[in-house]
Structures are given as structure tokens and as C-alpha cells.
Structure 1
């Protein structure tokens, strides 16, 4: 009974603050997250900065004390643990608030850690707002935004690999870029130079995107995706909504798709790797990236074809390294489109035929969406 009452109370409290939470995210409010680093690493919000009240070790000690000796003893221990460094921690909060006057502060539930941190700041003449309900309430609010979005009008963009679906999403005022936020292109060659975010951070960012897009349109346009994008997963309610939504299909010619993939997978990726890691390490990482991508589809290609394409890829890499030209990569990109990606996607698309409302070139689909999926 008590647990039920607590859940209802939390829900009611969140409902009272939903508009506040929405405004905080719409205005790109900077957040001071005073949770311990291990909590922050599990998931965070856009615009948040981890300036913890306690270190991971201190938090663990306080938690153990709370279980053994109760709240009063835990609070006393917490004060003792942070006492030697509290001036530095408060100074960091104050500097952040000075640089970001609109900043708010939160801990996990908006409770003791938030109040203590705000009081420490107030003691040196700095006032800061505390997010009611803390991280937990903000996170619940964002989860609800994703659930609500799954019930609104959705339009899915399909099409063979290389049709520019992600590019089209970025050009639309109501396009939700699942791959961009996942930092992965969704294929065997989709890994980016930088790492993917944590699942919770990914969901939080998507929810904030949904909030912002809702200011422009009551519908969303989303690329046709599988459940997984790299090591991340499309939030289940949104994915379920996508499986029922109307579709449009981009049907660009093979030659255009080949060149687009050559530019994206090879020219641009080699530049990104070398710019990030330096010429020597970047080239090695780029080479391993393409080799790993091809290896990832070896079973579908078959041993003989995989071996042949590996030789073609090796020759293309040598040509690119010596001349700077990526054109040699077309010699392996064209076969994997023809023999692997296109047959696989066409089979998947055939099961969604009844949902397809329009098909055309990139520009034709963009025009149709501009009129029909506003």
C-alpha cells in the first residue's frame, strides 16, 4: 500500500512540473549534475555537467553507513568525507553558474544532495534553482515524451542502402535522426570515429529532440531502422509505433547510391579518422574499420566472394593511400550492394508493401514529404 501511494505521489508531482521540465529542455538549460561520476556515466541529459558533491568512493561509504546505521549517521559521515575538499567543489559549481547564469542543479531525486549543494552555494552568495524531483523525475518525463511520440503521426523513410535516407531526414523540419544521435550509420560499416553514447543518454537526447520537433510539427519522419543501431536500441515504444506507420521509399539509381556510399564510407570517413587520430594512426584505424565492416558480412557473402572482395578492398586502400582517390572502392561497394544489401532490404521491404504510400527519387520523396507529412 505504501509503495502504491509513493508511486502515485511521484506521478502527481511530475505532472505538476511537466511544463517546467519541457521549458528547461526547450531553452537548453545548463545543468549541474551533482550525482557521483558512476551515476552520471550510466546516463545524462544534454547540457548537463557532472560536478559531483561526492566521489564514487565517498558515495559508496555513505550508502553502506546508511544501511547499517541509518540516515543521521550517513549524513554526518557525508559531511566528514567531503569537508576537506568542499571549497573546491563549491568553487566549481560557482564558476559554472557564473559562466551559465540560467543553470539549474539536480541530484538523483532532488533531495538531500541537491539541497546541501544549493545551500553551500548560497553560503557564498550564489543562488541556484533545484530541479524538483531531480534526475529521476526528468528521466521519467523524457520517457513519457518518447511514449507519446510513438502514438502520433509517424512517416517512415525506406529505401535501399545508399539512397540518402539519413541526409533526407536532416533536411526535413520534422525529421528525427535516430542514427545521428546513435552516432552510428546502422550497417556493418556504420561505426564512427567517436564512441556511441550510453543507451540512457541516447534515449534522453532523442526525447529532447522530440520535444523540440514538436514545436515545429505534430508529426515525425523517421528512417526505417532495425531494433539495433550499432550497440544501441531504438526505444521500444517508438520502434513499435514505427512498425505500424506509413512509409515512403527513396528509389535512387544504383550508380548514384554507389557514389554516395563511396563518398560517405571512404572519402569522408578517411578524413574523419585522420583528423581525429593523426595521419598514421588515423589511416590504420580507417583501414581496420573497412576491413572489419566487410568481415562482418562474410557469412552472407560466402567464403569465396568474401576473399575476392577483401583483395579488391586491399587494392582500393593502397590506391587511396598513394593517390588520394577513393574511386577504387567502387569496385567492392557495387558488388556488396548488388549481392548483399539490396536483396536483403528488398526482402524486408516486401513485407511492408501495404504500408508504402509513395516511392520516388530523393528529390521526389522530399517534395512529397514536405506536402504530406508536415
Structure 2
């Protein structure tokens, strides 16, 4: 049966992947764009595993065939063939590229006459390849770090450039204590796999520089591998200066208006608003120790007042007040202190247009 270990090509060409592992394995970690079409369910895999421990490999294989036969087997094959109709260039894999993927290959060939390649070494080999690609010594582009106070619109500017990688986008998080999105964050393994994909493609495109947003090692519950994070810290800083009024407007638009719309779209008007308000309020409470008692009280009172005003008038404009306090009295002093004490070199600083013009020069 045909195999491939051309992992670089898979990443660069975004080759569709069929993951025939059990759902519980897939949930722990998979590859970008992979579809879980398991040979065995979690329960079937569990029973086969017990049999393997008690009676050995041969009996475990027999049990597997007993559990997945007849209509059960046909339903699995139909799922695979449907995926192949949609994506004829798909590859398949199991954990180590062994028995499960070989069985799947054989059944697909019987049903369609086609031989679908499987990943040599399976998930484990491909995962090892991606982790090696996250090593600092594999990075050829020079990091350029885009900094600026909270609400400056750094992510919007960053995504204008093909030589950038959006870490917050990969982590599905806005990067602050209030940055959680309605869509769950990926597992750390999925985040690492997606980051490796992004860096491999960036290098394949031949960019001399890598534009990143100024982030901590943790982005929500996702975190950058320490050696790679330390490599990113070697990059020079480009600081985006945006007036407070504009930053309040940006935060209001993204963290309030857009976030409320996302919650309502997924949960409905009443439940969505309740979920959003609960999240923001709990975020304020979690930051109480860092904010200090008086500041925490003022921010929370301003937030609750804005919610009451929105209930009465339908306007979200009142949320500007607590956002302003949070930026002016907490986030801005913290960022300015970090900037004053950083060992990194600030190579450019300016407004939106000036920074954009500076970054445009890297693409020439």
C-alpha cells in the first residue's frame, strides 16, 4: 500500500487529510483541515485495547473485525468515499501509520478501486515533524514585532501583510484578560500544529522578515513553546501610537458591539447578551487584585450602568466609560512601563499611517 512522508508538501499545498483515529484521539490533537472519519468509535477502540492487553495482538485484530463488519463497516466506507469525492487528493492517517490506516486503505480500494496514500509513521511522525519546525534554528526570517497600547488596532494592521503571522488568530483569542471569543480556543497541540503550518508556509514563500504582534508567551490558554517565544523576543519593536479616543472606539467596536453580535448569533438575543455580560463581569472580577479595590469598583459600576443604559435605550455607547478607565488607568500604564524597561530595540514609532508606510518598506 502506498505511503508518503513528504510532510513539507502536505503543509505547503494544504493537502486534505482523513484522520481514521477514534474521536477521543482526534480531540486531543489533529492537523489543520483534517477531518475525523474514524475506523472505530471510542467504545470499539476501548474494547479492542482491553482485548490486546489481555489476549494479545491477534485476538485484538479479530475482535476489531467483529465489531466493524456488515452495515457498520459499509457506513465507515461510505463516509471515506464521500470525503474522497469532495477531495480526491486526500491522504489518510492513524496514530502510527499502521494497522488502522492499512485496513482503511484496503477497504477504500475494495470499494472504489483507488489506492489512497497514508502518512508514513502516521500522526506521530507528522506531529514530530511539525514540532521540529518550531525550533528556533529552523526559523530563517528575522522577527519584527508590532507593539502599541491596547486597542491600537495592531491585529488589523498586521493582517494587511503577507509576511505576517497572526498568533491571536491561530489561538482564537484577542490576547488580553477580556480577549476570550465565543468560539472555543484550540488545544495547545492544535495551536502548535497550526503555528507550525503558518511558519512553514511563511518560510516557503521566501519572506526575509516575520511580522508578529507583541504578545506574551500565553495567549489565553494557548502558549508558545519557550524556545520559539524567546526567539521572537529577539525581534526589534515597531510601536504603533494611536490616540486614546480612537482606542476606546476600537475596543467598543470589537469587544462590545462585535462580541455581542457573535454571542447573539450563536445563543439568541436573551441568552447571548446574558452570556456576554457574565463573561465581561467575571473578567473584571478576575482582575480585581491587579486593578486594586477602588479601581475595580469604579470599572464594575460603570459596566453595570452601561448595561442598564443599553437595556433602556438599546445603545452600547455607555460602555465607553468603563473601557476608558480600564485603558487609561490600567492597560496604558502597564504597557508604557514594559516599553520603558524592555531590552528590545524600538526601531520605529509613529501613528497608523507612519507605521504602515514603514512596514510597507519591508515588502520592497
Aligned counterpart, 2:245: 255
1:264-343 matches, cutoff 5 A: 264-343=254-333
Aligned counterpart, 1:9: none
Aligned counterpart, 2:110: 123
The one-character-per-residue Cα deviations of 1:217-261 (angstroms, maximum 9, x if unpaired) are 132111111111111112323211112221111111111111111
Distance in structure 2 (CA, Å) of the matches to 1:77 and 1:325: 62
Are 2:35 and 1:49 aligned? yes
Aligned counterpart, 1:135: 123
Distance in structure 2 (CA, Å) of the matches to 1:25 and 1:223: 23
Q: CA deviation at 1:54?
A: 1.1
> In 2, are the aligned partners of 1:43 and 1:198 still within 8 Å (CA)?
yes
Distance in structure 2 (CA, Å) of the matches to 1:45 and 1:83: 28
Please list every run of 5 or more consecutive structure 1 residues that lacks an aligned counterpart in the other structure.
1-13
> In 2, are the aligned partners of 1:149 and 1:238 still within 8 Å (CA)?
no
Aligned counterpart, 1:92: 79
Distance in structure 1 (CA, Å) of the matches to 2:152 and 2:363: 19
> In 2, are the aligned partners of 1:30 and 1:47 still within 8 Å (CA)?
yes
> In 1, are the aligned partners of 2:98 and 2:122 still within 8 Å (CA)?
yes
- With normalisation by structure 1, the TM-score equals 0.90
Distance in structure 2 (CA, Å) of the matches to 1:360 and 1:138: 43
> In 2, are the aligned partners of 1:251 and 1:361 still within 8 Å (CA)?
yes
Backbone CA RMSD of aligned residues: 1.9
CA separation of 1:269 and 1:44: change in aligned 2, threshold 3 A: same
The one-character-per-residue Cα deviations of 1:44-99 (angstroms, maximum 9, x if unpaired) are 11111111111112222222332333322222222122124111111111111112
Distance in structure 1 (CA, Å) of the matches to 2:122 and 2:33: 15
Counterpart secondary structure, 1:257:
helix
Counterpart secondary structure, 1:176:
coil
The one-character-per-residue Cα deviations of 1:103-125 (angstroms, maximum 9, x if unpaired) are 11111111111111000111112
> In 2, are the aligned partners of 1:149 and 1:210 still within 8 Å (CA)?
no
Distance in structure 2 (CA, Å) of the matches to 1:328 and 1:353: 39
Counterpart secondary structure, 1:175:
coil
Please list every run of 5 or more consecutive structure 2 residues that lacks an aligned counterpart in the other structure.
none
CA separation of 1:62 and 1:190: change in aligned 2, threshold 3 A: same
Q: CA deviation at 1:349?
A: 1.7
Are 2:88 and 1:110 aligned? no
Aligned counterpart, 2:159: 170
Counterpart secondary structure, 2:31:
coil
Aligned counterpart, 1:188: 177
Are 2:61 and 1:75 aligned? yes
Aligned counterpart, 2:196: 207
- With normalisation by structure 2, the TM-score equals 0.93
Are 2:345 and 1:359 aligned? no
